[in-house]
Structure 1
Amino acid sequence: MSTPTEVSEPSTPDGRAARPAGAPVIKARRVRRLSKSDKVILGFMIGLPTLIQLLFVWIPTLLSVFLSFTRWNGLALSDIRAAGFANFSYVFNDSPAFWPAVQHNILWLVFLAVIATPLGLLLAVLLDQQIKGSKIYQSVFFVPVMLSLALVGIIWQLFYQKDNGLLNFLLGTAGTPEAVDWFGDPSVNIWAALVAATWRHAGYVMILYLAGLKGVDASLKEAASLDGANARQTFFRIVFPAMAPINIVIVVITIIESLRAFDVVWVINKGTNGLELISALVITYLIGEGQSIGIGSAFAVILLVISLVPITIYLSRTFRKEKF
């Protein structure tokens, strides 16, 4: 290992030392070169995650883009035929489910943004008040986040069942002709599914906002209080703007959650009969009846392009902040 090397002191034209008397001598250290074992460990730490990303993200993504311009039944590779933009033309012009799926995805986004996200913010503000048992409440509201959306769908099926569901039992209609088929009726099942998705999304938003509230400088609140601001004014004029980075993250997460929503509707009725979503159409065409790998890949590419918009905006803002 290299030893410290004393740097020669600069001198003035008349030969006197430029360093003030009594000032410490500045010493420089040589940069330690990486050993072979260091290079192996670094290569493993960088190479393994990169390999996983390539195998499970980038290669499937590139294959989907390639297959979206082909016709293939998913059997022999020799059956792959070039299709140009025919698959995309079918999706936009001839697919009966595409535009309803777009409308449902937009509705999903609006519902999460207007209902679920403010609900998560409200829970975070209430739990930040150091109320008794706040840790227990945090755990209760965060439990749905730890569950998969497929399991969330199964849980809410028990709640929404027509004949034996808890909701119809509370309404007094269980087992009667007046019982509402919450997941089977296309006029209401999208709203029932959105409530189930909100149950999970609100807990996620709550945890993010709790972290943001803990990071707000307490002196800002004290200054606002001294200026005569009440709690409501302090929150909306001081605290909420101070959480701008968290707000941006939550906006991006909400958009992505609305686009990748799949598990709940697939568990309910495989994304049909009023629950069409773009993500469900991808799986329907890839592995469902009337299988068409090319059309399913076209749906996947469209979903990818839409998803890249909020991600690109978020990354550009992040890098711009780091640069300046």
Structure 2
Amino acid sequence: MSTTAEKPAAPDSEPGAARRTIAGKSRPGTGRRTRKAGRVRRLTRRDKFILAIMVGVPTLIQLLLVWLPTLFSIALSFTRWNGLDLKDIKAAGTDNYRYVVQDYPPFWPAIQHNVLWLVFLALIATPLGLLLAVLLDQKIRGSKIYQSIFFTPVMLSLALIGIIWQLFYNRDSGLLNYLLGTAGTPQAVDWFGNSNVNIWAAMVAATWRHAGYVMILYLAGLKGVDPSLKEAASIDGANAAQTFFRIVFPAMRPVNIVIVVITIIESLRAFDIVYVINRGTNGLELISALVIQNLIGEGQVIGVGSSLAVILLVISLIPIVFYLIRTFGKESKA
């Protein structure tokens, strides 16, 4: 019998040695490097200066070009002023607002036209953009080309779109009257000159741009939907329409909220296209056009124009505040 005692296994020289060994080679000092990596680097003077420039310059531009003019407009809406001599500024209280609501003839037609513009974009342009997004999400051949074609109007200003559609709607040589066979005849429709139809013609032109914008937003939303949701719906026997309206569309709720806010704002700030057509008169009265009419040109009434601008600002803030409440409310609950 052997009396030699078995030697106990030597313990690891330090805990975690096995974790620091890869292919038989030790990596000394790993723990020390990990501790160093966890430190937060302090900002240098150069970093602070760059951050101050990046934050300060946009903030200063925003103050000078947006917030200060906004505050001046609010102040001027309670005054009477001819826009020339600062000594002629006189306090008017709420007279300008009372005049706009009670005695300014184009105001209520402009409100109706803005509401009509909103309904048209919401019921025609937005669903059209959604339809285009769904079709282009099917991975059809040349989908990138189609996306570029439909998105091109978004890159154009509404003023330029108004000029383009003037060529389309022209009474004597426009494409639409040519297709109808009435170009150059007494039966030709003056699409932008007739007060009974020009608002509809202008909204169709605006739809051309808005649909492309909505299409891009919904395409991004569709790419973010979890494919497993669609697979689960198909396994349960849901068809394409049921899968979209019961699974996919509710899953894009954040995108839907953004598009609702954008649609409301677009309907309120519509100005360029109607101003190009006939300066927002003869059936194309919009609040934004009335603001410019009272602030610029002959017969300017600074107080009335400013009060109209403030009314437009208040109406525009409603969907923005709603969106911010919904967004930050969800973040606080999370």
Percent same amino acid among aligned pairs?
Answer: 77
Distance 1:123 1:32 in 2: 48
Corresponding residue to 2:215 among 189, 201, 206: 206
1:77 corresponds to: 86
Q: How does 1:2-41 map to 2 (within 5 A)?
A: 22=16, 27=35, 29-41=38-50
Q: Give the match for residue 285 of structure 1.
A: 294
**1:320 maps to amino acid:** G
State the match for 1:47 in structure 2. Answer: 56
Unaligned 5+ runs, structure 1: 1-19
Q: What is the identity, as a one-letter code, of the residue corresponding to 2:259?
A: I
Displacement after TM superposition at 1:275 (Å): 0.3
Per-residue CA deviation, residues 265-284 of structure 1 (Å, 9 max, x unaligned), is 00000000000000000000
Query: Residues 103-122 of structure 1: matches in 2 within 5 Å?
Result: 103-122=112-131
In structure 2, stretches of 5+ residues that fail to align are: 1-13, 20-30
Letter in 2 for 1:311: I
| Larger mean Cα displacement after TM superposition, 78-87 or 297-306 | 78-87
**20-29 vs 198-207, which deviates more?**
20-29
What CA distance in whole angstroms lies between the structure 1 residues aligned with 2:57 and 2:101? 39
The amino acid across from 1:118 in the alignment is P
User: Which residue of 164, 169, 181 maps to 1:155?
Assistant: 164
What secondary structure is seen at the aligned counterpart in 1 of 2:61?
helix
Report SS of the residue matched to 1:27: helix
CA distance in 1, matches of 2:48, 2:40: 15
Residue 238 of structure 1 is matched in structure 2 by 247
Per-residue deviation, 1:30: 4.7
User: Number of matched residues?
Assistant: 305
Displacement of 1:243 after TM fit?
A: 0.2
Shift of 1:260: 0.1
Query: 1:179 — aligned with what?
Result: 188
Q: Please tell me whether residue 272 in structure 1 is matched to residue 276 in structure 2.
A: no
Q: State the AA in 1 paired with 2:294.
A: Y
Tell me if 1:96 matches 2:85: no
Which residue number in structure 2 is paired with residue 197 of structure 1? Answer: 206
Structure showing greater Rg: 2
Q: State yes or no: 1:308 paired with 2:307.
A: no
Q: 2:69 maps to what in 1?
A: 60
Aligned to 1:11: none
Which stretch of the first structure deviates more once superposed, 219-228 or 288-297?
Answer: 288-297
What is the distance in 2 between the residues matched to 1:54 and 1:165?
45
The one-letter code matched in structure 1 to 2:267 is S
> Offset at 1:289?
2.7
Structure-2 separation of matches of 1:262 and 1:176: 31
Letter in 2 for 1:148: S
Q: Which residue of 2 aligns with 1:320?
A: 329
Q: 1:249 aligns with which of 258, 265, 289?
A: 258
Alignment match, 2:5: none
Partner of 1:143: 152
Alignment correspondent of 2:176: 167
> Deviation digits for residues 230-277 of structure 1, max 9, x if unmatched?
000000000000000000000000000000000010000000000000
**Can you list the C-alpha shifts for 1:36-84, whole angstroms capped at 9, x where unaligned?**
1111111101100100100111011101101101111111111111111
Q: Summarize deviations over 1:1-33 as a string: whole Å, max 9, x none.
A: xxxxxxxxxxxxxxxxxxx95499683755433
| Pair 1:228-2:237 in alignment | yes
Q: Partners of 2:41 and 2:233 in 1: how far apart?
A: 51
1:16 maps to none
In structure 2, the residue matched to 1:218 is 227
- In 1, Cα distance between equivalents of 2:108 and 2:40: 60
SS in 1 for 2:182: coil
**Counterpart amino acid of residue 145 in structure 1:** V
